[in-house]
Amino acid sequence: MPSPNYAAGRMFPISMIIIHSTRGGQVEGVEMQATINWFLNPDSEASSHIVIGKDGRTIRFVNDEDQCWAAGELNAFSLQVELEQPDNETEFTRVQIDNLVTVVQEWMAKYSIPITSVLGHDQTSQGIAQGKTDVGKMFDWIWFRERISDD
């Protein structure tokens, strides 16, 4: 589903992966559709390269070669993925994380991105400055980093 919200091309090499969560406050299923609608709406001026639903459905919105609009100045050199998560208390599903592992490993291999450059939005300079809380406390970073380094 190509989003109209992106900048064509890149001025810098891809060197970072940023993981977000949707946090739209909708019930499961509706949250995913609301995110799709938001990223397809030109007035939102928001997008991500990929969104992964709680059911594992994975949708691409922006090509790797282009910049999505999700993390300000970091868009210029990062790839970004959104995980469906209606609120910060909702757990991520196994299939959702399995698909995230696949996407992140493919990007790490393709663009030679080190594991230390795979961050949550809340761990980036832009996210910290804006008080972002995604991906947040329900995301198991230790287990995830073991998965992306071992699989």
Query: What's the whole-model pTM score?
Result: 0.95
Whole-angstrom Cα distance, residue 61 to residue 69? 11
Whole-angstrom Cα distance, residue 26 to residue 69? 22
- For the chain, residues with pLDDT lower than 50 are none
Per the CB < 8 A criterion, the answer to whether 37 and 44 are in contact is no
Backbone angles phi, psi at 46, to 5 degrees: -140, 145
Say what the pLDDT of residue 131 is: 93
Which candidate, 22, 20, 17, 1, places its Cα nearest to that of 105?
Answer: 17
Q: What does the pLDDT look like over 102-143, one tens digit per residue? A: 999 999 999 999 999 999 999 999 999 999 999 999 999 999
Whole-angstrom Cα distance, residue 14 to residue 113? 8
Three-state secondary structure of 23-55: CCCCCCCHHHHHHHHHHHCHHHCCCCCEEECCC
Say what the pLDDT of residue 28 is: 72
Say what the pLDDT of residue 43 is: 97
Q: What is the DSSP letter of 93?
A: P
Say what the pLDDT of residue 141 is: 96
Coil/strand/helix, residue 68:
strand
Say what the pLDDT of residue 150 is: 60
